[in-house]
Amino acid sequence: MANDMLPASRSGQNGTLTPMPEVTDSGEQAMPAGFNKASFGTLLSQNRKLLLFAASGLMLAGFLSMVLWSAKTPYQTLYAGMDAKSAASVVEYLQKERIPYQLQGEGTVMVPADQVYAARLKLAGQDIAPGGDSGFELFDKKAEFGISDFAQQVNYQRAMQGELARTIEVLPMVSTARVHIVLARESAFADRKRESSASVMLKLTGSQKMNRENVSAIQNLVAASVPGLDPAAVTIVDAGGNLLSRDEEQAALGAGQSLQETQSRIEQRLETRITGMLEQVVGEGQAVVRVTAMLNRQMSEQNSKQFNPDGQVVRSQKEASENRSSTDSTAQGVPGTASNTPGANPATAQAAASPKDSASRNESTVNYEISSITEHKVIPSGGITKISVAAIVGGSFATPGDAASFQPRSKTELKTLQGLIEKAIGFDEDRGDSVEIQSLPLLDITSTQDEEALSAQENKAFYLELARYGLAGLAMLLLAFFILRPLARLIGSDPESKKKEAEEKAANASLQTLSPAAFAHLESMQQARHAIQHQPERAGKIVREWVEQV
């Protein structure tokens, strides 16, 4: 009965006695006899304590470093491609406003991503933002006393140049622009009057190109802003020294460009027109067009004169008429003075007259002129002699994604599309032009490349983010494996711990030599000792039961 009230014990496989831990009335596990929490620190030597603290400090420092590195604020470009003077002004203002920044490369300033737009607005407000000349804000400043008209005119010209440059830089394909204007000056001599002109230098974004429409738009923009400026007087050049603007007549004659460039320009223009037309019918990305234009590579002159026999016209006309007659007259009367005396009888002097002959003549002269055409032709090089067009249009798929289920377009539809292409290029059969169109399955290469590029960017960002946290975890594992694990082994190999373990083994070995009765008595004594120390009331009850049994 007494044994039922005492804490139970457990025997190992080799018969050793292992006391079970007690549970107090409050539910906490009772510590073994003789255990003192204050003496736990003495189990470790001073060097091991220092080693433990050092390892803990290193682990904490590494963890904090990795956290701070992973939470580092990303930087974004504020301005790039600045000259040294502009970059110095920007950096000086950022230092004054205590805005963190980083310098990368030549003329590139970076600030935290969440402060990019605010910093740009502040720089613009202080009139130190790079990227162009000053505009009409030049006149916002207080005018200097006694400034001359010439200086005012120069400031006005500078302001116009700056405003035009800013306007041109709004175009997506233009990175930076510079504008130079020469204003017309009035002269007392009419023959010395000079017209206004302008020149524009463009730095294009990336590998973008400007077509003829973009160049013409810039020319008209500048010309409309300057009084008396003709668009043809605006010269536009890119940063590579290529002339982008040409006079229309020179462009038609191919001046300033090689025949190869002219051929490429014509082919590209026709391809763009035909592709845009076909995509309106077959869908975007479902038409591929290639144009080959054969050009005349030699300049020639032709003189010709054509006569039209059927086109006779009266040049001059003359008519003449003549009538002639003659008569035979014989004198009659009395000869002598009587008949010739004045006052004589006229009958005596009358002479008989009778006609003898007469004649008439009519003459008409008409001069005719044959019509003729005299033609002088100058045929410049670069004229189109033949155009060949090859076009591919997509069809439909019975099963999406299955190339074997492709269904081409009907011959009637292809014939209609071919007729449209012929009309678009000005098809001339006598010139030898040809158009060929087929319906074949097309792969959307542009979409695939865009998706691949987007996927690559997303994967790169994901791997960078994963690497941040992965390195932090790896640092923790390395600290635990190379520092904490050896430290735990050192603590476990403490001499006092080994001595205590040897004493326990010796005690267990001595218990194995006891008889069953002695072993039971020893077990009872151990339980009683433990009960007296931790549960005095139960121990007193056990002692009273023992006395009653005796």
Which residues, in sequence order, are bridge partners of residue 368? 314
The larger pLDDT score, comparing residue 178 to residue 46, is at 178
Q: Report the distance separating Cα 79 and Cα 82, nearest Å.
A: 7
Q: Is the pLDDT of residue 27 over 50?
A: no
Phi, psi of 421 (to 5 degrees): -65, -40
The mean of the pLDDT values for the chain is: 72
Per-residue pLDDT, averaged over 49-73, amounts to: 68
Q: Tell which residue, 74, 58, 103, has the closest CA to residue 465.
A: 74
Per-residue pLDDT, averaged over 65-76, amounts to: 68
pLDDT at 41: 47
Query: How many CA atoms lie within 13 Å of 297's alpha carbon, on the beta-carbon side?
Result: 7
pLDDT at 119: 84
pLDDT at 173: 85
pLDDT at 1: 40
Q: Is the pLDDT of residue 424 over 60?
A: yes
Tell me which H or E stretch contains 290. strand 287-295
Q: Which CATH superfamily is domain 148-186+193-245 in?
A: ANL, C-terminal domain (3.30.300.30)
pLDDT at 19: 45
Residue 446 — pLDDT band, cuts 50, 70, 90? very low
What one-character DSSP code corresponds to residue 395? -
Residue 515 — pLDDT band, cuts 50, 70, 90? low
The larger pLDDT score, comparing residue 322 to residue 130, is at 322
pLDDT tens-digit map of 222-254? 988 888 888 888 999 988 888 888 654 455 444
Q: Report the distance separating Cα 11 and Cα 526, nearest Å.
A: 14
Per-residue pLDDT, averaged over 167-187, amounts to: 83
Query: By three-state DSSP, how is residue 142 classified?
Result: coil
pLDDT tens-digit map of 95-115? 888 888 888 776 788 888 888
The architecture that CATH gives domain 75-125 is 2-Layer Sandwich (3.30)
**Residue 178 corresponds to which tokens in the numbers above?**
């510079």
3-state helix/strand/coil string of 497-536? HHHHHHHHHHHHHHHCCCCHHHHHHHHHHHHHHHHHHHCH
**Segment among 92-106, 202-216, 234-248, 522-536 with least mean pLDDT:** 522-536
Phi, psi of 58 (to 5 degrees): -65, -40
Query: How many CA atoms lie within 13 Å of 209's alpha carbon, on the beta-carbon side?
Result: 6
**Segment among 35-39, 132-136, 324-328 with least mean pLDDT:** 35-39
pLDDT at 193: 64
* Alpha helices, DSSP H, located in 367-444: 411-425
Q: Is the pLDDT of residue 15 over 50?
A: no
pLDDT at 129: 63
pLDDT at 397: 76
Per-residue pLDDT, averaged over 278-298, amounts to: 87
pLDDT at 111: 86
Residue 302 — pLDDT band, cuts 50, 70, 90? confident
Of the chain, the percentage scoring pLDDT greater than 90 comes to: 9
Residue 52 — pLDDT band, cuts 50, 70, 90? low
Q: Is there a contact between 229 and 197 (Cβ–Cβ < 8 Å)? A: yes
Whether 148-186+193-245 shares its CATH topology with 255-307+368-445 is answered yes
pLDDT at 39: 46
Q: Domain-by-domain residue ranges, the chain?
A: 75-125, 148-186+193-245, 255-307+368-445
Q: 255-307+368-445 has which CATH code?
A: 3.30.300
Q: How far is CA 312 from the centre of its chain?
A: 69
Q: Is there a contact between 198 and 233 (Cβ–Cβ < 8 Å)? A: yes
pLDDT tens-digit map of 341-392? 666 555 544 444 455 567 777 888 877 777 778 888 877 777 888 999 999 9
Cβ contacts of 69 within 8 Å, gap of 6 or more:
468
Per-residue pLDDT, averaged over 142-154, amounts to: 70
pLDDT at 46: 60
